[in-house]
Structure 1
Amino acid sequence: MATEFVVVFGAIAALLLLGAILALWSGLRGAVTNADGDGALARIERKLDLLLDNAGLRYDPLDGLPLSIQALVKQGKTIEAIKLYREAKGVGLKAAKEAIDEIRRLG
């Protein structure tokens, strides 16, 4: 009886924790994608760039990316780059497209 109570209590606690995490994630996501989302994101990127500069570090979006994908991005072959990125990283279409778009934007 006591063991069943512990299991049920643990399951309820886990569900409550998961709900809290989802609520927090949703709130944070909304904070970045609100009406001023582009402005907020741009400010975050500027701050990150400043921190990297002060630390003497440089962000290279192509670092660690297979040369074949780098070449496709540089040639403007976005669809082919996305396909190879998906295979190389094991991610879905949306994540691969976002990554390649970010690489194109920063590269």
Structure 2
Amino acid sequence: MSFVRLEKVDLLPAGVAPAPDRCAVEGVVASAAYHGSHTTYTVESSGAEVKVLYQEAGRPRPAVGERVTLTVDPANVLQYDATDAAPAGATSSGSTTASSATTARTAPTATRAGTR
């Protein structure tokens, strides 16, 4: 299993090339919850839901239904054996529970940007 902290994932508009040293996966914004300084997104990708905490900082916000590219530094992806306990708050589907928004499942098809 792979997990990554919500705030370590970045959203790019579809078609924008991510940095070559980052893992990237495409998806569609399924939901968005605005919280003032940030928005929590749920992005559907390869049959998985990925939660993302997106810092506003004057950047445009993707709309529900919009295609996006999720990127993350590979050093921020936590790997667990199937026999290891999942991080606190993670569910068997890999998404986080409402009581613990600290981790999210990366889509299983994440690749380094520019490679497949």
Q: Which has the larger radius of gyration?
A: 1
Q: Which structure dedicates a bigger proportion of its chain to helix?
A: 1
Q: Which structure dedicates a bigger proportion of its chain to strand?
A: 2
> What is the TM-score when the length of structure 2 is the normalising length?
0.18
> What is the TM-score when the length of structure 1 is the normalising length?
0.19
Flag the structure with more relative contact order, 1 or 2, with Cα contacts below 8 A and sequence separation at least 6.
2
